Every structure is written in C-alpha cells, then in structure tokens.
Structure 1
Amino acid sequence: MDGTRVSRTASDLVVRSIHAMATGERADFDLLYAPSAVDRENVLQPPPSRVPGPAGFWATAQWLRTAFADLRYDIHHVIADGDMVAVNSTMNGTHASAIAFYTPDGGVDAVFPPTGRSFAMAQSHWFRVQDDRIVEHWATRDDLGTAKQLAWIPPTPLYLIKMARAKRRVARLG
C-alpha cells in the first residue's frame, strides 16, 4: 500500500472517532480503538474513562454527552504522516448537566453545575494508528476560553455555592 492510501485511511478512521464521541454507538468504539488504546488526556475524567481500549473511550463519550447537550465536532484540518494523524477541530455544545472533574487518584475535584450556555472549544487532537485502529490519543484544548464562555470563571458567589453543593452530591454518589 502506498503512503497516501495509508494516511487517507488513518485520517478517515480518526475523523470517525471524533464524531463518534458525540454520536457513536458503543459498538463503533470497538471498531475504532485497539484493545490496548491509551487516552493521554483522561487524568481529570471519571475513573471508568481511564481504562485502556474502547471501554475507556466510550466512557469518555458518555461523560461528555451527559454534560453537554447538542454535542458536535467541526473538523477544520486533518494531517497524516506515517502512523500519526493530527486534527484541528471545534467541540460545540450546551452545558445542560453537571460535569465533574476528578483528581489523579479518582476523587472528586470540582463539579460545575449546568449553566445552560453554549460553547465552542478549539481543540487539536493527535492520534497514533496501527493496524487500522487508534492506539494512542493526545489533545490540547482551550479550557480557559471554554470556562469563560460557560461562566465558570470568574464565578459568581452564587455559582460557587452551587459548585460546592454539586461536588458534595457527586462525592456521595461515588
């Protein structure tokens, strides 16, 4: 197979994986991710998303979909070189439900109650592909810009109280 075909196949696979985060079914993740696939961006995510392979990526999708209604990704650029694929994208949605972030040991760090606000988050994703499946993922995101769009910062005193209550609820649920 020539390099162009391999790169195009890898690019298509990666674009499908990004869209699957918003709308894919569980079975899609088994086709997209290798059993040992690693997400290098999951340290703040819920513990179920920290496992390798399709199950971890599926858990990440569920975490995002629960918090953000109308979740979708706009793909702007895709570049492939060998087994690496880079994607410039925007994640869009509405903050419709609480989202919890976790400590490295799995404890609840912060919970942001729903604001009902829409956002557009600039993101760059990097994937390594082997044998027609994703084996590794990294990302950079505009978290600060998104936090401003969602009115997480600067927080109002009332929102800080809501955050504290939400954190207690999530911590109790485990």
Structure 2
Amino acid sequence: MHGKYQHGVTLLEALIALVLMALLVSGAVSSVSSLLARHRLITFQHDIYHALILARHHAVSHGRWVVICPVSDQGGCALPKGDWNRGWRVFETTGSYDCKIESTGLCSHGGRVLLEHGPVHGEFRVEVNSHLARRARFNAMGFSHGYNGRITVCSRQSGSSLGLVVAQSGRVRKARADEVLPCNSGH
C-alpha cells in the first residue's frame, strides 16, 4: 500500500506555472521598457528647458543679451535658420548674434559661451516653429521679443513627443498637448 498522500507537482502543473511566470515577466519587461523610454524623453526635454532657463537667467543676472542658437556645420550659429538636431550653443552677446568659438569658452566677438550641446542622439528629434528656427534671444530684462515660439522633442522609439513654449515675456513652460508641434519623421 502507498502512503496516504503523494507530495510534489505533476509535469503539467509545472509547465502551466512556467508559462504563467513567462507571461508575467514579459509584461513587466514591456512596461519597464516603455517607462524607461518615457523617462529618456523627459530628460531630453529637460536638457533643452535647462538651456533656455540658463540663457534667460544669465541675461537678467548679468544685464546682457544672451542667445541660444542651433549650431551650423561651420561652427557658428546656423543662419538664417538651422537644424537644432546638430546641437545648440548658449552665449553672451553685445550685438553680434553669431558665435564662432575663437578660444576656449569665448566667441569671436568676445562673448562667453555658457553652454554647448552636441548633436542630438539618434533616438530623439527636435522640431521648432519658424520663430525659433534661427535662435532664441533674451535681453537684460529677460524678454524674448520676436523669438517666442515652440520647441518639440520627439522620440523615434516610442513615437511620443513633449513640447516647450517660449513666450515673448521670456517665460519658458511645458507645452499643453495642443501646443506640441508635429514630429517630422522624414529626417
């Protein structure tokens, strides 16, 4: 006679348990992956936000014009308009709105370079409207007359996007959903 109870699991029970665990793990990995992609997009949006806030704050605190512009292939500002995906530069200026770097930390016109951001990582894309295609410029009062507009950061991986709005008053804020520019995936 056999014992009262047999202990253990059958092969079928073990396989069902493994399948259920695999489904749970795959769902968790997918959720973590999309969460990380969203976090990278927010971080990248913050990089641009930081550059704009730095420019405005420096203009007000030092009583100088400060410009943030997309960088050209020649190393200066991309004029008359540029591709922000090549990177951007924040610099002091007294009238010249271009900044070719002559020596470490200085523009050819003598203004200081405050921040330099290299080319945008392939996962992201920056879109700007026509007002900011050339640059954003803040005066000693922090205003950005004529250089107001919208900037959108697009994630090629997740397809989502986030925006920033620069007002003529110089205020920089996160864009509402209806203010986010369309992402041009053709580049």
Q: TM-score range by the shorter chain?
A: under 0.3
TM-score (norm 2): 0.25
Relative CO higher for 1 or 2, CA cutoff 8 Å, sep ≥ 6?
A: 1
Higher-Rg structure is 2
